[in-house]
Amino acid sequence: MTAPVGGSAEPPADEYVDLPVRERERVFEGRVWDVRRDEFEYGPRGASIVREYVDHPGAVAVLALDEDDRVLLIRQYRHPVRAREWEIPAGLLDVDGEPPVEAARRELAEEADLVASDWAVLADYFTTPGGSDEAIRIYLARGLAAAPDVHDREDEEADMLVRWVPLDECVDAVLARRVGNPSLAVGVLAAAASRARGWASLAAADTPWPAHPGLRPAGG
């Protein structure tokens, strides 16, 4: 069998690079994220390329799984897609210096009034790598209990619904294309696959996150 171009025996893994940026401009400043225009060098001859993209702080999401293998889902209105969509708790990394796992703990408490004693990294992904630098880390949270405080909710969260759904039913909903939220889809599919492997794929909650541009070690 002929090997595909660029194929090798190594498992696929993203390569993080820092290309020379000739010019960077903020062309739009928004309430949550900005739009930037970068002119950077690419290729052996250092050709100049210009790309515009959403400059995003990144986010975390939480797949909360109870002792009966049920996932906590929330239904919330999202105006850009004009839908009340089912999601897992998630939120922006918008507190300076806050470790991602602490942001995940905060979001679980704020959106679901829950705390968890067992935290692990389940999956990392880019939402739209061709047009945004947004990176999301999904945590698996177990050992759940009621949070000591109940949070007030407003705006789109004011009529948010909460439901516990068996993990297998969540997988069915993704495969049947009944739900479209990416963190929900990635989270439940990753959880089902990890569970089938005895949860061997899970990583420590404080595992480095090089996929996030702001948390990437210098030079890599």
Confidence of residue 154 (pLDDT cuts 50, 70, 90): low
Contact 4, 12 (CB under 8 A): no
Contact 74, 181 (CB under 8 A): no
Q: What is the DSSP string of 110-150?
A: HHHSEEEEEEEEEEEEES-TTTB--EEEEEEEEEEEE-SSP
- Pairing, β 59-64 against β 135-146: parallel
Q: Which residue in the list 39, 41, 157, 169 is annotated as catalytic?
A: 157
Which is more confidently placed, 6 or 215? 215
Domains of the chain: 21-54 (no CATH), 59-204 (3.90.79.10)
- 41 assigned to active site: no
Spatial distance between the Cα atoms of 140 and 202, rounded to a whole number of angstroms = 8
State the Cα angle at 127 between 121 and 129, rounded to 5°.
115
In three-state secondary structure terms, 10 is coil
pLDDT in tens, 167-201: 999 999 999 999 999 999 999 999 999 999 999 99
pLDDT in tens, 97-123: 899 999 999 999 999 999 999 999 999
Confidence of residue 152 (pLDDT cuts 50, 70, 90): low
pLDDT above 70 as % of the chain: 91
- In the chain, the DSSP E strands lie at 21-29, 34-42, 47-55, 59-64, 70-78, 83-87, 90-92, 114-126, 135-146, 161-166, 203-204
Confidence of residue 7 (pLDDT cuts 50, 70, 90): low
Minimal CA–CA distance to 64: which of 106, 102, 119? 119
Contact 120, 113 (CB under 8 A): no
Which residue in this structure is represented by tokens 């047009």?
Answer: 131
Q: What is the pTM of this model?
A: 0.90
pLDDT for 216: 78
